[in-house]
Structure 1
Amino acid sequence: MMTGKISRWVVIAVWIVAAIILTFALPAVKDETSNNSADLPADSASVVADEFIKEEFPNSSGIPALLTWHREGGLTDADLAEIQYLSKQLTDKPLTQQSFFPPLHELPLPALKKSVSEDGNTFVQPLFFKENAETATLEKNLESINDMVSDRIGSDPFKVSTDSDELSLRVTGPVGISVDATGLFAGADFQLLLATVILVLVVLLLIYRSPLLAIIPLIGVGFAYLVTSPILGYMANHGWITVDSQAISIMTVLLFGAGTDYCLFLISHYRSELRNHASKREAMMAAFKDSSGAIAMSGLTIVISLLTLLVAKYGAYHRFAVPFSLSILIMMVAALTLVPALLSVFGRASFFPIIPRTPSMEEERAKKKGKAVKKHKESGRIGKWIGHIVTTKPWTVIVSCLIIFSILAGYSSQIKYSYDILSSFPEDMNSREGYAVISDSYSPGELAPVTVVVDTEGKDIDLAPALKGMKIVESVNDPVAGKSNKDLKSYEVKFNMNPYDIEAIDSIPDIRTLAEKELKSAKISNVDEKVWVGGQTATQFDKRDTVKADEFKIIPIIIVLISLLLLAYLRSVTAMVYLMGTVILSFFAAMGLGWIILHHFMGVDAIEGTIPLYSFVFLVALGEDYNIFMVSSIWRKKKTMSIKRAIREGVAETSGVITSAGIILAATFSVLATLPIQVLVQFGLITALGVLMDTFIVRPFLVPAITALLGRHAFWPSKVTDLEEKEHSKN
């Protein structure tokens, strides 16, 4: 259908019409993003505790913004007057969704000075907003505060350096962090899209040296994106899915990287067939027949792998599933319909100026010009050399690869993980600078105290002494009674360290155990139901547990599903086992190498805790893609030639296209490292390294060497007789 004189135009028209209708009829996905969606299940201990605390202790409810005023050399009376002026203004004219603002303007100056830090340089002014306040509203509120203060003092305190002797203002705490996190992704879609398009275009031009051929894959990917975006927007608008900016950013990279790979595999086959067929239609039909199965299998592998994220309990994982899988599914359809139709229209002109022709066409062309026929340069020389090495010295290749991967994989056991939100931000980010000021002048725990609530059942129980006895606790506020139940007591606990540090997160079970022990000492029963621990540190503790639980659940599911797909496609248990084993080993090696670079060369103390599962999903699925492309070629050729020759020919045939595809895919993921967000830098680097390992080690060396070593056993339980053995037996 994609090659007919009329049908190819119908295919192209269908894609154009679909893109136009969907774009104008449905909302774009970027307009439906939600960056403050919950990541933890509603029944998580910290979520339950936070909801309970909001009901019983309304004075502590709301999302806090910590306005951090600072002047090196000490805040002046005039500075404190500005703080009181802002307090009065926002009390008289509250901001949108503002819930509570301490009336500091009602305090006499001496009383206000008592809240200044001991060094006299810093003052933290809390401002609370309603829980359901949108991030966009919070951002506008912070801008209003900035304008209000700037007009009063004649300069922008948000831009004054925090080590200056001028008055500076930073907003940190949950509100500041939320606004900054959203701001980091503002424009990220366009930035990533532009950088990825330029990168892919340049690499394609270098590979094929054909302007038109460089554009055709981008057209296919572009239409897939135009169709995917409104469909996702429609689904998000109706509440079927939730999407965030981070998911859309990574989806863009995945779509262009994987989509270009599919196009390259088809283009490579088409170019080869144009040298065998004078008819461009027959060439495309032959190319489509050889490549469509591998492209479809590759796409389904990624789609199914990504869909497994739907079983995740951690919200960020769950939100990735549909955008990623749908974009790849639509791209796969585009690669099997739109791209063949475009290539059929342009035919050999697609490869201009290096046009592939049949030998007879070359002779006729040479006669017309009165020149000798130019011999077609032999392609895939490196691939043929590799094919020779892996079939003649398989043990050497396998052992060498396993040694390299084992050493790198060993480093993955040394990785330290972090759940610190602020560590993902650039050091000059507003909220991170504000936190640094608080840490220097106050206890670092001021940023996010932990709230401990216990039901005393009317008994005289005081947790404060026991809590203060913990080595990581800086201070404990006096207990506050509950609104509807006076037997409830709430304690605000401030750490003497970063509340997002691993040590602080690890202390949450200890705090709960301590509280339960005190209740047991007072002869209170069912203590596990009468202790609540809330706050950001408790949330991070639940996040870590949820993330780890998802890893143990999703990784085995992915392995099983991809194994079944490989088994169905190759009909070989042996091949399925070693193909899965090699990509899993490659994943651990990529993690280890990534840690070496991040830790020893980039000074990263710990990587974000969600990285392992993200990287596993992509590296295993994408790594298996390249195995499928190459193995499908070997499987096809073994029908007419010996196994070793099929391996040599298969490696040579696919070496160029898979190497090109791998370089493009790794380069597109490396674009993520240009964003000022550490989690994307780490994910982009590790994924790019894994793709390069699959491209230059696993696919060309390790997998073919294992196949050559196993011989006909590589196809078990299918019965295959090696033609070399058959010829040898005849002689």
Structure 2
Amino acid sequence: MSGRGGRVTLVALAVVLGWLLVGAVTGPFAGRLGEVATNDSAAFLPADAEATRAQELSGRFVDRQTTPALVVYERTSGITDADRQRVAADAARFAEVPGVIGPLPPPIPSQDGQAVQVVVPIDDGEGERIGTTVERLRDIAGGDRDGLTVDVAGPAGLLADLIEVFSAIDGTLLLVTLCVVLVILLVVYRSPVLWIFPLLSAGTSFALAAAFVHLLADADVITLNGQAQGILTVLVFGAGTDYALLLVARYREELHRHARPWDAMRTAWKGAAPAIIASGGTVILSLLCLLLSSLNSNRALGPVAAIGIAATLLVMLTFLPALLVLGGRWAFWPRRPREDEAEPQAEQGMWRRIAGFVARRARPVWLVTSVLLAALALGLTQLGATTLGQSDLFTQRTDSVVGQEVIARHYPAGTGSPATILVDQRAARQVAEVARTVPGVAAVRPVTGDRAGPPDPAAPPRVVDGTVQLEATLADPPDSDGAERTIRDLRAAVHRVPGANAAVGGFTAINVDTAAAATRDQNVIIPVVLVVIAIILALLLRALLAPILLIATVLLSFAATLGLCALVFRHVLDFPGVDASFPLFAFVFLVALGIDYNIFLMSRVREESVRRGTRAGVLAGLAVTGGVITSAGIVLAATFSALAVLPLVVLVELGVAVAVGVLIDTIVVRSLLVPALAYDIGPRVWWPGRLARANGEREARRAG
């Protein structure tokens, strides 16, 4: 037997060394994802969106596509001659900055004489370097001086602020996530050794996933943005630690029954791996459903996060078991499990008492918890009360946000980000007249051949391939609800002009088309995800009724989570609204991750039901898995909460929603609602499988 033990040890050592080599090769990619990330909102539009078509047509009117930065100077007592000289000097230096397309249009004074605005076109070919160009503009403009304030806003200013936020993902977010996982593992295991194995495995998973994502994004096979990059970090560490907790708990349990660690691991792996694989498979398939999205940003998140979960599954089912086998019982020091055939500690502690309470009050428990969750779901009425604008993306007042507020005070708020109307030359005059009558449109002018000087009303419009481009300045800020209503009204008006073949694009139009695509995606993807999860649960549990009940409980939990979060966002955090993608992302993560805990519970319940009967199996499964699943839920909630370190409202909202939803799933749904419901229904919960008939007959005999 010693020979066999030596061979097993050598195999485990080879697996560990192999994975350490993989980690050494892929590790550098964990800090380089920002190199291949793209954060341009226009790049994520559907190909058939009107704003996309308008952008393609507009590209014919310029040698190079540009993104404007708006440098705005304000003195509430009135702009002085010295201020105008400073603005002119700054504008001359702006034109010399690499990436700026000159010559610049002349500065635009406000009608009230309190502000001056300089439009600085930046070459779109600069990509992520737009952020560097904007920082150079801010350095040239300097800070506020003697009552004159200076801010850099506009689409380029906003993009630069987003790039700065996402640059913290590779460092700050990763460090915070590691610290959160480390602290929780120390609390859960109370061992100075054991925490190393899950954390090392999770780090290897992240490095492997980052390497694949980097290579695919660099080859333009997938598109990576900052949002997907941040979610990948917390998802891999959160899910990886969850899988590790489940395997380690089962391994500790089997060490009480087996003398040799490799025998204990073999039994633990056979018991835990199906649930872990089913859980990971559910998340992967749910995420890949995002490929059905019409938004490239959603399609980008799907494969990126799915790669992360696939890498995590591979590492946690190979590297972690090998580490634990090499560590043996000493890995659990100072609380080393002994071979004593003892029942798991959970069966004798708090979770045994909870199981007993569920057995005595099964029907009241699931009725009361269902009513409470339904009551929380009423908060959904607050979720759509407002819309999250582009300048509301940040939890802090960035330079671009402050600058946009200054522009709104002294100019038509849409100055610098006009709507573009591409129209057939023969109908251009009529379309311009119609556009001027649309409420919310402050001015309409054609694009002429010379854009360097002030607009000349008498200049003829520039015609390219029989198409004329009009620019409509909006009265409202370009990222506001009012501007989006104006775009919809403007489109309706110009589309009615015969023969115009008009397409309305621009910054606000991109937001409108993005929101419309997000609504379409929710209606398509959510039912597909539910079907996928139902099929996986039916195959795992070999039943139909149990999967339906589990999905119903998770949907109730999802609604309760969104209802509670809507109240928190509105009345506690004072957020202006939610991003258009938030409901879909929240659904995919909450339902896919929430069903995980039901998979962990019900797979063990089914295993125990074969041995003990359904009702006894429910209680035994709850008692044995209660501690580890609760710990896993806390880990996942804490890791997603780490998104709050990024000053971006959409990621803070998603992190809060997933954290709250996971805790509701773990503490209420999985601990009370599902066990009470399964206990009350009894053997019929496995209908129409053979286990339903076998356990039904067994419990009938017991009753007799």
1:53 aligns with 2:55: no
Partner of 1:484: 463
Distance 1:324 1:265 in 2: 21
Alignment counterpart, residue 540 of structure 1, candidates 496, 508, 511: 511
Where do 1:27-42 residues align within 5 Å?
28-36=32-40, 38-42=43-47
Are 2:371 and 1:392 equivalent residues in the alignment? no
Residue 450 (str. 1) matches residue 405 (str. 2): no
Q: Which residue of the other structure, out of 215, 218, 221, is the alignment partner of 1:240?
A: 221
CA distance in 2, matches of 1:643, 1:280: 31
SS of match in other structure, 2:72: strand
8 Å Cα contact 1:380-1:655 kept in structure 2: no
> Which structure 2 segments of 5+ residues have no match?
449-459
Comparing 488-497 with 261-270, greater Cα deviation is found at 488-497
Could you tell me which of 95, 98, 108 is aligned with 1:96?
98
Is 1:43 aligned to 2:45, yes or no?
A: no
Relative to structure 1, the CA distance from residue 717 to residue 661 in structure 2 (aligned partners, 3 Å threshold; closer, same or farther) is same
Q: Is the 8 A contact 1:72 1:165 kept in 2?
A: no
- The match for 2:485 among 490, 506, 510 is 506
- What's 2:88 paired with? 84
Aligned residues: 684
Counterparts of 1:455 and 1:348 in 2: how far apart (Å)? 78
Alignment partner, residue 141 of structure 1 = 133
Q: 1:727 to 1:486 in 2, by over 3 A?
A: closer
Q: Which residue of 1 aligns with 2:192?
A: 211
Gaps of 5+ in 1: 105-111, 150-155, 363-374
How big is each residue's C-alpha offset from its partner over 1:578-604, in whole Å with a ceiling of 9 and x where there is no partner? Answer: 111111111111111100111011112
Seen in structure 2, the aligned counterparts of structure 1 residues 204 and 458 have a Cα distance that, compared at 3 Å, is closer
Residues 566 and 576, structure 1, Cα contact 8 Å, conserved in 2: yes
2:339 maps to which of 347, 358, 362: 358
1:201 Cα deviation from its structure 2 partner: 1.0
Q: How does 1:464-475 map to 2 (within 5 A)?
A: 464=433, 466-475=434-443
Please tell me the residue identity of whatever aligns with 2:52: V
- Aligned pairs for 1:221-232 (under 5 A) are 221-232=202-213
Q: Deviations over 1:270-305 (max 9, x none)?
A: 111122222222222221121111111111111111
Aligned to 1:654: 625
Q: Which residue of 1 aligns with 2:404?
A: 435
TM-superposed CA distance for 1:223, in Å, is 1.1
After superposition, the C-alpha distances for 1:658-708 in whole angstroms (9 at most, x for unaligned) are 000001100111111221000001110111111001000110111111111
- The answer (yes or no) to whether the contact 1:380–1:656 under 8 Å persists in 2 is no
| 1:107-132 Cα distance to aligned partner (Å, 9 max, x none) | xxxxx7xx422443211100112232
Question: CA 1:247 to 1:25, structure 2 compared with 1: closer, same or farther past 3 Å?
Answer: closer
Against the structure 1 CA distance between its residues 278 and 506, is the aligned structure 2 distance closer, same or farther, given a 3 Å change threshold? same
Asked if the contact 2:32/2:170 (under 8 Å) is kept, the reply is: no
Picking from 297, 304, 317, the partner of 2:298 is 317
Shift of 1:26: 11
The CA deviation at 1:486 is 9.3
Tell me if structure 1 keeps the 8 A contact 2:435–2:490: yes
SS of the equivalent of 1:639 reads helix
Which of 674, 694, 697 in structure 2 is aligned with 1:703? Answer: 674
Q: Could you say which residue in structure 1 is the equivalent of 2:578?
A: 607
Cα gap change, 1:182/1:632 in structure 2, threshold over 3 Å: closer, same or farther?
Answer: same
Q: Does 1:175 align with 2:156?
A: yes
Alpha-carbon distance between aligned partners in 2 of 1:59 and 1:337, rounded to the nearest angstrom:
54
Q: Deviations over 1:618-676 (max 9, x none)?
A: 11111111001110111001111121111111100010000000011001111112210
Question: Residue 328 of structure 2 is aligned with which of 337, 342, 347?
Answer: 347
Q: Aligned to 1:461, what secondary structure does the other structure show? A: helix
**Pick aligned residue for 2:613 from 631, 634, 642:** 642
Cα distance in structure 2, aligned partners of 1:459 and 1:435: 31
What is the CA-CA distance between 1:148 and the residue it aligns to?
3.7
State the Cα RMSD in Å: 2.6
2:431, 2:655 → 1: CA distance? 49
Distance (Å, rounded) in 2 between the aligned partners of 1:30 and 1:541: 27
Amino acid paired to 1:296: I
Percent identity between the two aligned chains = 31
Partners of 1:27 and 1:230 within 8 A in 2: no
CA positional deviation for 1:576: 1.0
Question: What amino acid sits opposite 2:134 in the alignment?
Answer: L
Change beyond 3 A, Cα 1:248–1:103: closer
Which amino acid letter does the alignment assign opposite residue 551 of structure 1?
A: Q
Q: 2:318 aligns with which of 337, 341, 348?
A: 337
* 1:73-98 superposed Cα distances (whole Å, 9 cap, x missing partner): 2222111112112333455xx33232
- Quote the offset at 1:24 in angstroms: 7.0
Equivalence for 1:412? 380
Shift of 1:101: 3.6
Distance 1:297 1:459, change over 3 A: closer
Q: CA contact under 8 A between 1:419 and 1:544: conserved in structure 2?
A: no
Q: Which of 666, 678, 683 is the equivalent residue of 2:637? A: 666
Judge conservation of contact 2:554–2:665 (CA < 8 Å) in 1: yes
Deviations 1:145-202 (A, max 9, x none): 34444xxxxxx32xx3xxx743332111111111111011112221111111111111
CA contact (8 A) 2:438 2:486 kept: no
2:551 is aligned with 1:557: no
Paired amino acid for 2:702: H
Which whole-Å CA distance do the structure 1 matches of 2:431 and 2:245 have between them? 69
For 1:264 and 1:376, the matched residues in 2 are separated by: 15
2-side partners of 1:203 and 1:459: how far apart? 64
Partner SS for 1:638: helix
2:400 and 2:103 map into 1 onto residues whose CA distance is 19
Check whether the contact 1:477–1:493 (CA below 8 A) recurs between aligned residues: yes
Q: Is the 8 A contact 2:138 2:152 kept in 1?
A: no
**Secondary structure of 1:99's aligned partner:** coil
Any conservation in 1 of the 2:287–2:302 contact (CA below 8 Å)? Answer: yes
1:74 counterpart SS class: coil
The CA deviation at 1:546 is 0.9
> Aligned partner of 1:215: which letter?
I
Separation of aligned partners in 1, 2:317 and 2:362: 35
Determine the C-alpha separation between the residues in 1 that align with 2:204 and 2:64. Answer: 50
SS at match of 2:101: strand
Distance 1:99 1:446 in 2: 19
Q: TM-score, normalised by structure 2?
A: 0.92
| 1:367 match | none
SS at the partner of 2:627? helix
TM-score (norm 1): 0.88
Amino acid of the structure 2 residue aligned with 1:65: A
1:66: how far off? Answer: 0.6
Distance 1:300 1:462 in 2: 53
- Give the C-alpha shift of residue 538 in structure 1: 1.1
From 651, 665, 671, the equivalent of 1:694 is 665
For 2:455, the equivalent position in structure 1 comes to: none
Deviates more, 1:710-719 or 1:659-668: 710-719
Rounded to whole Å, the distance in 2 between the matches of 1:172 and 1:230 is 35
Cα pair distance change 1:337/1:427, threshold 3 Å: closer
**Aligned runs of 1:673-684 on 2, under 5 Å?**
673-684=644-655
What SS does structure 1 have at the residue aligned with 2:238? helix
The residue aligned with 1:425 is 394
Contact 1:418 1:502 in 2 (8 A): yes
Shift of 1:377: 6.5
Change (3 A) 1:144 1:378: closer
Q: Give the distance between the partners of 2:533 and 2:312, measured in 1 at CA.
A: 19
Q: Secondary structure at the match of 2:472?
A: strand
- Residue 187 (1) aligns with residue 168 (2): yes
Paired residue secondary structure (2:611): coil
Q: Per the alignment, do residues 102 and 352 of structure 1 end up closer, same or farther by CA in structure 2, a change over 3 Å counting? A: same
